[in-house]
Structure 1
Amino acid sequence: MNDRIESKIPKKMRDKAPDFVDYGKNILFEKVWRNPALTLKERSLITLSALISIGNTEQLPFHLQLAEKHGMNEKEMIALITHMAFYVGWPKATAALNIILEK
C-alpha cells in the first residue's frame, strides 16, 4: 500500500499562504500522520470521527477517500457514522452518510 498522503491544494492557497500549506503537508501529513503509535487506518477513523463531530462536511470527501486508501471499507464507514449519530447528533451523521452514499 502506498501510504503517501497527497492532497489537492488550490493554487491560490499555495501562492497566498505557502506557510499554511507547508505546515499541512510537512507537519500534519508527514510528521503527525507518520507517528507509529497509531496506524493510518486508526488515524483515518479518528479524523473522520472528528470531522463528523464538528459537522465539517467540506473536508469529508478527501478524508473518506483517504480512509479507503488506508483500508476502511464502506461498511465500516457507515457503521462509524451510525454509531456517531447517537453521540454527535442525527443531522451531522446524516450529512456525512449522504456524502458516502454520493461516491
Structure 2
Amino acid sequence: MELRHLRYFMAAAEEDDFGRAADRLQVARPTVSQHVADLEEELDTLLFNRHSSHVRLTAAGRTLHARLVGVMANLNEALFLTERMADAGAVSSVVRESSDPGRDRDSMFGLLRSIRRLGRPNNFLPESSTRRKLMPSQATGESARIYKQVPQFSRLREDVLLGDVWKQLEMSTRDRILVTCGVLAAGGKGEELKHWMRRGVDNGITLDELRGMIVQIAFYAGWPAGLCAGRAALELFEAEPRE
C-alpha cells in the first residue's frame, strides 16, 4: 500500500464519482478505479458500492474516510513544510510542533487494521453483504465432481491456475477478470461468463465498465459474442438500483 492509494480513495470518497476524482487528481479514470480496487484488496474490505452514475461509501469506507481526514491533513502539512523549508533544523522544529509523523503513521496503521476487522466475519458491512472473494478455494457443483474423477486436472487447477497464474503481479485480479470475461464471451461460454461477471463486480468492476466491454466484444469478437456477454450481464443490470 502506498500513500497515493489513500489519496485516490479520499478524492473518490469526496467526489462520489471516480471520473470527477480523476479530473481532480489529473489522472485517467481507470487509474482511480484501479487504485481503489487495490486498496480494497489490501484491506480485504469493500469500501465503495458501485452504481452506474456514481459510487457510495460503504460503512467501512465511511469509517476510513472520517478517520483519514485528520491524518492526511497532518501528512500533507508535513510534506509541504519539508518541501518548502531549506533549513533542516527549522523543518524538524516546525514539524514537531505541528505534527508528529510517527504518531500519524501509527494511527493510520491502527485505523487500517480496524478497517480490515470491520470487513471480516462476525462484523458487518450493512450496504453489501457480499464480501470480496478473489478466487474460489474449492470447486463446487459439477466442476467439483469432475476434479474428483480427474485428480491431475484438479492439481493443475490448484497449483498452476490458482496457485500461480492468478497470483502473478503483472495484472491485478480485477483486470484478469475483465480479460477472462472477454475470452469467455468470444467463446460463447455464457454460464461461466455470468459467474465471472459477478465476481468481477465483487472485485471493483463497475456495471458501466461491463457495458463498455460488451460493446468492445461485439466489434472485435462478433455480434453474437456481444449478445452473449449482454445476456450474461442482464441480471446484474436489471438489479442495479435506480435513482
TM-score between the two structures when normalised by the length of structure 1: 0.85
Partner of 2:196: 63
| Contact residue 82 and residue 93 of structure 1 kept, 8 A | yes
- Structure with bigger gyration radius: 2
Structure 1 residues 50-59 or 87-96, which shifts more?
50-59
Percentage of identical aligned residues:
23
Partner of 2:103: none
2:147 to 14, 23, 38: 14
Unaligned runs of 5+ in 1: none
CA 1:9–1:32 in 2, change beyond 3 Å: closer, same or farther?
A: farther
1:36 pairs with 2:169: yes
Partner of 1:85: 218
Cα drift, residue 9 of structure 1: 5.1
| Contact residue 9 and residue 21 of structure 1 kept, 8 A | no
For 2:227 and 2:193, locate their aligned partners in 1 and report how far apart those are by CA, in whole Å: 13
Cα drift, residue 53 of structure 1: 1.6
TM-score between the two structures when normalised by the length of structure 2: 0.39
1:50 pairs with 2:180: no
Structure 1 residues 8-17 or 55-64, which shifts more?
8-17
Unaligned runs of 5+ in 2: 1-43, 45-131, 237-243
Runs of 4+ in 1 over 6 A off after TM superposition: none
- Match of 1:58, SS state, is helix
1:5 to 97, 118, 135: 135
Q: Deviations over 1:54-95 (max 9, x none)?
A: 222231122112211221021111110112211111111112
Cα drift, residue 15 of structure 1: 2.1
- The number of residue pairs the alignment matches comes to 103
